[in-house]
Amino acid sequence: MNHQPFEGWLLDDKYLNAAEKRELDTHLRVCTHCTALVETGLALRSAQVVTPAADFTLRFQQRLAAQKIAERRHRLWGLIVLIISGVGLLGWLAAPYIYAFLSSPVEWLTASIGYFLFVFTSLQAFSEILRVLARMAPNFIPPYAWMVMLSALAGLGLIWVVSIWRFSRKPQGVTV
């Protein structure tokens, strides 16, 4: 049986005028091959209608947006909890100092000024020592050794400053 031009029309999904439609209908009544082609085409087209890409994408985006909002809310709550606990901890740590300041502001101020002056002069002394060491240092000491030495000195200095700060705070705590 000759399937042309009907097979070509069906495969190309050609737009048919009234006369062509009538010709095709007559052919389809006697031809199972072309009828099968028509059914396949219909099935494919209906399958395309069943899975609307745009709708799926839209729903997917909506779900994604909702998820993002939920995630952002979680992160915001986490941040709020973190800030509250951080402020609470800071307040708990600073409470004795705030109390000391409120009970005797002048003493506290003089103590702080004295402390900062002490730190400043200590740092000056440290830098003086470092300068002397640097002048004495032979050039063959590699840079990383210098970094290790400097960080060790800085750590020792910090420990010293903190220990003296604590020591100087103790008698004040008794008077307050």
Residues from 76 through 135 that contact Zn ion (CB under 5 A): none
Cβ of residue 43: shortest distance to Zn ion, in angstroms?
18
Question: Residue 36 corresponds to which tokens in the numbers above?
Answer: 């099968």
What is the nearest approach in angstroms of Zn ion to the Cβ of residue 27? 5
**Binder of Zn ion out of 10, 24, 34, 100 (CB under 5 A):** 34
Q: Which residue has the tokens 């990383």?
A: 144
Burial class (CB in 10 A: 0-12, 13-18, 19+), 149: middle
Q: Is 31 one of the binding residues for Zn ion (CB under 5 A)?
A: yes
Q: Is 3 in the site for Zn ion (CB under 5 A)?
A: yes
The interface region with Zn ion, picked from 24-32, 45-53, 110-118, 121-129 by CB under 5 A, is 24-32
Residue 30 · residue 22 · CB < 8 Å: no
R_g over Cα of the chain: 43
**Site of interaction with Zn ion (CB under 5 A):** 3, 31, 33-34
